[in-house]
């Protein structure tokens, strides 16, 4: 197995469900469970955004979730990395066509907050989620050593 | 009692092997199912006629087929794709194939987009690019198959000329050749 030089300590993950269908959430939890075992790289679910280093967002961000997403993002301490899982959060997906608008959707997520890692798929396989988390850990290490902050 | 014995047997089997999947995923390993899943559809450009069936049926608008001044193009936005395989089902030429590439993780501003440009036929009348040669060939073949033998040659001779003219010019030409056949509105 190839070891990845990750963050100096174990990066904690906060999972934010922003109006998705629950598919990506199930895959994210599967990626943290023993079969896909992301804890071999030190990833751990945090129960509060104030304890987290990585914010994982799923779902297309409907209007009623917009304020919660912004508040949660502000609560994560610097340096932080935002990972968006699933094509809903990346581009709006089936809820939002290219160059179009939807009165119910405030997303895609990169309109609201800066996103560092994209994990496309509907839903992505746990292996893809795991690669996304590993990339996020690398970006977190860069941010921490560069001192640029979130 | 049988159920309990089965459970014990499964529990003992679990002790004798590693259940965790390797990272990065190894396609041939015993514990990874990568080869059985749907991934991004791959285009065979030799078969594609740029008809746009995949673009119009894509539920998440991930495919764009169109014509601009440089000619016909097909864009595929991986970020929008949900790997449902609908484009593979609707393609009349069988030009799309599923692959098991499903990990497309990327950073900000690195969205993977597949762009393919086609050779394009220009209209004999106005010189505007309007169709892909393979499309005209395939339509001609299908037309020949479905026609009665008595009129086939006659129609195909006409088709060979009129297929090289763009739809806009075709309407103008028709009005010129058959005045009074159509009613012009507006």
B window 2-21, beta carbon within 8 A of A: 19-21
Given this model, what pLDDT does residue A5 score? Answer: 47
Stated pTM of the model: 0.81
Of the ranges A74-78, B22-26, B134-138, which one carries the lowest mean pLDDT score?
A: B22-26
A window 23-82, beta carbon within 8 A of B: 34-37, 40
Question: CA of A79 to nearest chain B CA: how many angstroms apart?
Answer: 17
pLDDT band at A2 (very low <50, low <70, confident <90, very high): very low
pLDDT band at A118 (very low <50, low <70, confident <90, very high): very high
Which stretches within chain B are classed as H helix? 2-15, 53-57, 86-90, 133-146, 149-162, 167-177
Average of per-residue pLDDT across A50-60: 92
* Residue A1 reports pLDDT greater than 50: no
Given this model, what pLDDT does residue A149 score? Answer: 44
Given this model, what pLDDT does residue A83 score? Answer: 95
| Per-residue pLDDT tens digits for B90-107 | 999 899 988 878 888 999
Q: Is the peptide bond before B151 cis (omega within 30 degrees of 0)?
A: no
Given this model, what pLDDT does residue B184 score? Answer: 65
In 3D space, the residue among A56, A132, A59, A125 whose CA is nearest the CA of residue A92 turns out to be: A59
Given this model, what pLDDT does residue A6 score? Answer: 44
Q: Which residues of B touch A90 (CB under 8 A)?
A: 79-80
CB contact under 8 A, A117 and B23: no
Q: Which residues of B touch A91 (CB under 8 A)?
A: 77, 79-80
Q: B122 in contact with A at a CB cutoff of 8 Å?
A: no
pLDDT band at A13 (very low <50, low <70, confident <90, very high): very high
In 3D space, the residue among B135, B138, B123 whose CA is nearest the CA of residue B170 turns out to be: B123
Q: Which residues of A touch B103 (CB under 8 A)?
A: 124-125, 127-128, 131
d(CA B149, CA A41): 71
- Which of B23, B37, B58, B64 best probes binding to A when mutated, by most A CB atoms within 10 angstroms? B23
| Per-residue pLDDT tens digits for B51-91 | 899 999 999 889 999 988 888 999 999 988 888 889 999 99
Residue of B nearest to A88 (CA): B80
Please provide residue A118's backbone torsions phi and psi, each rounded to the nearest 5 degrees.
Answer: -115, 130
* Residue B29 reports pLDDT greater than 70: no
| CA torsion through residues A84, A90, A94, A96, sign | positive
Query: If you search the block for the tokens 């014990």, which residue do you land on?
Result: B8
Q: Which residues of A touch B87 (CB under 8 A)?
A: none
B10 within 8 A of A25, measured Cβ to Cβ: no
Given this model, what pLDDT does residue A82 score? Answer: 95
Given this model, what pLDDT does residue A147 score? Answer: 54
């Amino acid at each position: 197995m190839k070891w990845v030089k990750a963050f100096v300590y174990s990066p904690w993950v906060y999972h934010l469900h922003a109006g998705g269908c629950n598919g990506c959430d199930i895959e994210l939890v599967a990626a943290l469970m023993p079969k896909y075992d992301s804890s071999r790289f030190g990833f751990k679910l945090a129960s509060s955004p104030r304890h987290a280093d990585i914010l994982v967002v799923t779902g297309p961000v409907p209007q009623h979730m917009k304020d919660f997403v912004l508040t949660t993002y502000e609560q994560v301490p610097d340096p932080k990395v935002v990972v968006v899982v699933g094509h809903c959060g990346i581009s709006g997906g089936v809820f939002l066509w290219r160059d179009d608008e939807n009165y119910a959707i405030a997303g895609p997520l990169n309109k609201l907050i800066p996103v560092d890692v994209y994990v496309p798929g509907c839903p992505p396989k746990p292996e893809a989620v795991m690669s996304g988390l590993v990339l996020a850990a690398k970006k977190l290490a860069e941010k921490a050593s560069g001192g640029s902050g979130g | 009692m049988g159920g309990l014995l089965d459970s014990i047997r499964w529990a003992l089997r679990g002790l004798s092997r590693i259940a965790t999947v390797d990272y990065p995923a190894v396609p041939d390993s015993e514990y990874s199912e990568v080869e059985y899943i749907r991934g991004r559809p791959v285009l065979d450009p030799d078969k594609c006629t740029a008809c746009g069936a995949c673009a119009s049926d894509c539920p998440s608008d991930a495919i764009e087929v169109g014509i601009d001044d440089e000619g016909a193009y097909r864009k595929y936005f991986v970020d929008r794709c949900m790997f449902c395989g609908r484009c593979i089902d609707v393609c009349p030429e069988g030009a799309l194939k599923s692959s098991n590439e499903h990990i497309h993780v990327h950073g900000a501003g690195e969205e993977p987009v597949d762009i393919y440009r086609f050779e394009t036929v220009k209209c004999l009348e106005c010189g505007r690019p309007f169709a892909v040669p393979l499309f005209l060939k395939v339509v001609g073949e299908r037309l020949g198959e479905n026609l009665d033998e008595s009129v086939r040659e006659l129609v195909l001779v006409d088709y060979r000329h009129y297929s090289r003219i763009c739809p806009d010019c075709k309407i103008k030409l028709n009005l010129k050749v058959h005045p009074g056949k159509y009613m012009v509105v507006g």
